[in-house]
């Protein structure tokens, strides 16, 4: 397998996983914190996976500018959720 096809395979898996698994669950978590609820361990674990995937995409962005939008969306969503979750924690 060539380096390009390995990279394409990684990109495909990351995008598919983000769209089918990470994003829907992250949006559920976002709704949860917007209702004023606190994050549980499962939520935190999922967000860690979202960020790990985003970091992987971030490393590829230099070679694949077409991934910049995906990377930005994932990081922005993570920041939005964690900021609101922190506010909820501080409220008690």
pLDDT tens, position by position, 28-74: 999 999 999 999 999 999 999 988 888 888 888 878 888 888 888 88
pTM of the model: 0.82
Which of 82, 70, 81 is CA-nearest to residue 31? 81
Helix (H) or strand (E) run with residue 50 in it: helix 41-61
CA distances 4 to 8, 10, 11, 60, Å, are 6, 10, 10, 12
pLDDT at 85: 96
Dihedrals phi, psi of 39, to nearest 5 degrees:
-80, 145
Dihedrals phi, psi of 69, to nearest 5 degrees:
-65, -45
């Amino acid at each position: 397998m060539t380096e390009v096809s390995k990279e394409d395979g990684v990109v495909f898996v990351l995008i598919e996983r983000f769209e089918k698994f990470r994003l829907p669950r992250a949006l559920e978590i976002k709704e949860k914190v917007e209702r004023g609820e606190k994050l549980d361990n499962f939520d935190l674990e999922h967000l860690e996976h979202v960020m790990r995937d985003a970091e992987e995409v971030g490393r590829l962005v230099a070679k694949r500018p077409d991934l910049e939008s995906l990377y930005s969306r994932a990081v922005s969503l993570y920041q939005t959720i964690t900021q609101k979750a922190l506010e909820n924690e501080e409220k008690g």
